[in-house]
Amino acid sequence: MIAIYENKVKGVQAHFSIEIEEQRELAILKLNKLNKKTTDPIDKAYLESVISLFERNKNILVWNSKKINDVKEKLSSVPTYSKTSKKGKVTYHKTIIKDKILYALGYKNLRSTFYPEYFKKIGIKVCVYCNSQLTITAKKTTNTSDYSAKFEVDHFHSKSEYPFLSICLFNLYPVCSFCNRAKKDDAIEFELYSNEVTKTIKSDYNFKLTSYSKAKYLITKDLKDIDITFKEPIPSKTKTKTKTKTKTKTKTKTFNETFHIEGIYQTQTDVIEELIIKSQMYNKSYLKTLKYSFDKLSIQPKLFKRTLVGNYTEDKDLHKRPMSKLVMDIAKDLDLV
Ligand SMILES: [Zn+2]
């Protein structure tokens, strides 16, 4: 729900420059091995164009969003084959070379090795789409007490259409597994990496307690009376999807349409209930006393606010903890922070 400053990410990539170059070299090695085994001329031609892309561009894995956009359409589409159903309907499917390229690039392996470290350094722990869940899933390894953590990422430009972008770091958006499944290969209009500082400080997305909701709840004490709305930018693009021989126009979906944001957060009214109660109990003089106690401990004002509402209170920190966007927006509505 907010962008990260591109230069900050570049700094992290510089820190991992050796590992990133190793990923590119290993990818070239495996793609060349795959090429030796590939016989189909159309698959081979596509694969060789991918190999050439990796060999010619030393910095391909750190291409920024603009560069990725410029290059992605220049490479021909993944080869397809046609299937005719009993009713005579013709459908097109990508050939097996797509999956083989994905395997050679090693994206799955990087999810449990490099990505957890990389995104930890960038400071993302929470789904960049819904902000309600973590991006890590942990699994207990067989016969030991250790856990293996896997990082969930969405490919902004789908790995099905653009397998060669599957390990390009600016194409990776940390997400929760629900949002990853919900988005599939759909396009959405949200850029996680930006050069515009303002986009990294203020989110364009906003939760709001509907009018009268607080007053009504205070009378009834019924969670059902707590009602929130979610505001977001309206997508401007109508995307044209090309599926060999057929062109379909699809409207870019909103966050709410894709990830059911209101549906997720309507189950969290108890969080808002606590904030409403705090807004009633913590009057100005009580807040002053609390603040005085915090000052005596030499605790920063930001930490005072976080302790007060139980979450981060600035948009720029919303990748740090689940539900922070909801809590900070409603806390501001209630004049708590
Ligand atoms: Zn999510």
Residue 191 shares a structural domain with residue 208: no
| Range with the poorest average pLDDT among 13-22, 52-61, 90-99, 319-328 | 90-99
Residue 151 binned pLDDT confidence (cut-offs 50, 70, 90) = confident
Worst-scoring range by mean pLDDT, 24-33, 212-221, 233-242, 280-289? 233-242
Residue ranges making up the domain that contains 282: 202-337
Tell me, yes or no, whether 98 and 215 share the same domain.
no
Please compute the mean of the pLDDT values over residues 221-240 and round it to a whole number.
Answer: 84
Question: Quick one: pLDDT at residue 136?
Answer: 83
* Among candidate residues 132, 160, 195, the one where a domain is terminated: 195
Predicted pLDDT of residue 250: 61
Question: How much is the average pLDDT of 75-96?
Answer: 86
Lowest mean pLDDT among 11-15, 56-60, 289-293: 289-293
Q: What would the mean pLDDT of 55-79 be, rounded to a whole number? A: 91
Q: Helices 324-333 and 301-309: crossing angle, nearest 10°?
A: 100
Strands 193-194 and 4-5: parallel
- 239 plus 166 within the same structural domain: no
Please report the pLDDT score of residue 238 as a whole number: 54
State in Å: Cα 125 to ligand 1 middle.
Answer: 11
Please choose, from the candidates 221, 253, 214, 216, the residue with its C-alpha nearest in 3D space to the C-alpha of residue 237. 253
How many domains does the chain fold into?
2
Distance (angstroms) between ligand 1 centre and the Cα of 84 equals 37
Q: How far is the CA of 18 from the centre of ligand 1 (A)?
A: 31
Same-domain pairing of 257 and 335: yes
Choosing from 195, 224, 241, the residue where a domain stops is: 195
Predicted confidence at residue 124, as pLDDT, reads 94
On whether both 8 and 149 belong to a single domain, the answer is: yes
Provide the CA 71 distance to its chain's centre, in angstroms: 22
224 and 140 inside one domain = no
Ligand 1 centroid to 259 CA: how many Å?
A: 7
Same domain, residue pair 175 and 250: no
- Residue 253: predicted pLDDT: 87
Ligand 1 centroid from CA 177, angstroms = 7
| Banded model confidence at residue 19, pLDDT cuts 50, 70, 90 | very high
Query: Per-residue pLDDT tens for 240-269?
Result: 555 454 555 567 889 999 999 999 999 999
Rounded distance from Cα 73 to ligand 1 centre (Å): 28
Distance 64 CA to ligand 1 centre (A): 23
State how far the Cα of 87 lies from the Cα of 42, in Å rounded to an integer: 28
Q: Is the pLDDT of residue 141 over 80?
A: no
Q: Going by DSSP bridges, is the β-strand pair 228-231/206-209 parallel, antiparallel, or unpaired?
A: antiparallel
Element (DSSP H or E) covering residue 83: strand 80-84
3-state secondary structure at position 90: strand
Type and span of the H or E element at 328: helix 324-333
Residues 301-319 have pLDDT tens digits of 888 889 999 999 999 999 9
Last residue of a domain, one of 148, 179, 195: 195
For all residues of the chain together, what is the average pLDDT?
90
299 with 161, same domain: the answer is: no
265, 268, 269, 274 alpha-carbon torsion, rounded to 10° = -130
d(CA 143, CA 128): 34
Compute φ and ψ for 300, nearest 5 degrees. -60, 150
Determine the average pLDDT of the residues in 200-215: 92
SS3 assignment, position 336: coil
Q: 182 CA distance to ligand 1 centroid (A)?
A: 9
Q: Check whether residue 207 and residue 191 sit in a common domain.
A: no
Residue in 257, 35, 265 with CA at minimum distance from that of residue 131? 265
pLDDT of residue 237: 65
Query: 131: CA distance to ligand 1 center in Å?
Result: 6
Ligand 1 centroid from CA 19, angstroms: 28
129 and 208 fall within a common domain? no
Are 22 and 160 contained in the same domain? yes
Strand partners, 134: 126
